[in-house]
Amino acid sequence: MQTLVLVKPDGVLRLKIGEIISRFENKGIRIAGLKMISVSKEMAERHYAVHRGKPFYDSLIKYIMSGPVVAMVLEGKDVIDITRKLVGATNGAKAEPGTIRGDFSSSIDFNLIHASDSIDSANYEIPIFFKESEIINYERVDKSWL
């Protein structure tokens, strides 16, 4: 199973890339794809198509294009649920301490990170950011303990 994670511009500009990646690595999740990108308008609109028409849509599109984004494909058993637990609730003010958003965000707009919320979302979102050739298959050396 795979999921898409984006460290959004606030996460990159606040120097949280390493901290965020460490949380996934420490949990035993395999990083199958990783890159820093500038999100184009077309990519932003495709990625956030489900939010079109909502009051926060225009500012969301503007914000995701406002600075660098680190995109990742994470892979593993139950990776979507495990990742969502590590990420925490959408609103940083309500996210549990110990989660990424709970520890580093008090905002719903600037919540550092995006993670696919279902298999369907992951299947839709991953190809927006990654070609198949950019997703790499390898084994973690600690796989037998994870």
Question: Which spans of this chain sit near ligand CMP (rule: CB under 6 A)?
Answer: 51, 56, 60, 90, 108-109, 111, 114
* Residue in this structure with the two tokens 């079109």, named with its chain if needed: 52
Q: How far is the CB of 111 from ligand CMP (least distance, A)?
A: 5
Of residues 37 and 136, the one with the C-beta less far from ligand CMP: 37
Tell me how far apart the alpha carbons of residues 52 and 17 are, in angstroms, rounded to a whole number.
28
**DSSP element (H, E) containing 81:** helix 79-87
Q: How far is the CB of 104 from ligand CMP (least distance, A)?
A: 13
Of residues 40 and 90, the one with the C-beta less far from ligand CMP: 90
Q: Which of 100, 114, 115, 129 is catalytic?
A: 114
Q: Would you say the C-alpha torsion 6, 136, 128, 67 has a positive or negative sign?
A: positive
Residue nearest to ligand CMP (CB): 114
Nearest to 24 by CA among 146, 125, 120, 108: 146
Of residues 29 and 60, the one with the C-beta less far from ligand CMP: 60
Q: How far is the CB of 27 from ligand CMP (least distance, A)?
A: 19
Tell me how far apart the alpha carbons of residues 106 and 122 are, in angstroms, rounded to a whole number.
26
114 classed as catalytic: yes
Neighbouring CB atoms inside 10 A of 119's CB total 12
Which residues are designated catalytic?
114
